[in-house]
Amino acid sequence: MRLQKYMAHAGAASRRKSEEYIAEGRVKVNGQVITELGYKVQPSDKVYLDGKRLKIIREHTYIALNKPMGVVSTVSDEKGRKTVTDLIDLDRRLYPIGRLDVDTTGLILLTDDGEITNKITHPKYEIEKTYIVTAEGRPDKRELDILRKGVKVGQEKFKGAKVKILKNFEEDTIIETTISEGKNHQIKIMYEKIGHPVKKLKRISVGEIQLGNLEIGNYRFLSDDEINYLKGLK
């Protein structure tokens, strides 16, 4: 979020007035005077006007994180592995919304808003989640059609997935795969079933929330539009 917008949201002044304060050198970020209007405030930044700390008072916090490999998507881990909340340096107790496997990378949302967490993880809402799958070998149309129709797992059946080949290599294939459920290891089970096990898995979107160019291990606040989208889900 741009500095002047952050200041306006924090109730310091209007956006126009905030721009004047910035130009006058009255604004510091992490102890340093910032006169650049385009400065982008990061979630962990501390912003001051005339020496007084500004804070955006929101009832809840909503974060998008690009989860690295080897990090677990829980709040604590009995094996002492790094967790997604270890990567977020905010004085708020946040919880991941849903799970990614320890070896899956990409978009995971975190919040302290229990209502939103229940909504997104509740099967009724059928929020689409898109993954970039690296699958072993070269699945053919017949095999991918099995995923499109819905894979049977014991007594259960997964709903049909949207599947699109992005790139073929000699030994594996990159496939964009969208599912509307969130069953345990769902993508891995699907590709295992058609004989093309997953080698790499990365989530790039949850509903309308995109990973975009967020670097691995980094996080950002969701925008007002993204928060309103989550709140408006019916």
**Considering 77, 101, 113, 172, which one is annotated as catalytic?**
101
Contact set with ligand URA (CB under 6 A) = 100-101, 104, 185-188, 201
Contact 93, 86 (CB under 8 A): no
Query: In sequence order, which residues have a C-beta less than 8 Å from that of residue 211 and are 6 or more positions away?
Result: 64, 66, 106, 107, 203, 204, 205
The torsion angle over the Cα atoms of residues 221, 222, 224 and 229, rounded to 10 degrees, is -160
The torsion angles phi and psi of 124, rounded to 5 degrees, stand at -55, -35
CB of residue 41 to ligand URA, shortest distance in Å = 31
Distance between CA 99 and CA 84 in Å, rounded? 10
**Which residue number, 101 or 136, has a Cβ lying nearer to ligand URA?**
101
**Which residue number, 101 or 128, has a Cβ lying nearer to ligand URA?**
101
Q: Is 184 helix (H, G, I), strand (E, B) or coil?
A: coil
The answer to whether 101 is a known catalytic residue is: yes
* Neighbouring C-alpha atoms within 13 Å toward the C-beta of 226: 17
**Which residue number, 72 or 227, has a Cβ lying nearer to ligand URA?**
72
**Which residue number, 104 or 134, has a Cβ lying nearer to ligand URA?**
104
CB of residue 199 to ligand URA, shortest distance in Å = 12
CB of residue 191 to ligand URA, shortest distance in Å = 8
**Which residue number, 9 or 203, has a Cβ lying nearer to ligand URA?**
203
* Burial track 158-170 (b if 16+ CB lie within 10 A, e otherwise): beebebeeeeeee
Structure tokens at 54: 């500004």
What stretches of 34-155 show up as alpha helix (H) in DSSP?
Answer: 114-121, 141-149
CB of residue 150 to ligand URA, shortest distance in Å = 15
Query: In sequence order, which residues have a C-beta less than 8 Å from that of residue 16 and are 6 or more positions away?
Result: none
CB of residue 142 to ligand URA, shortest distance in Å = 22
Which residues are known catalytic residues? 101
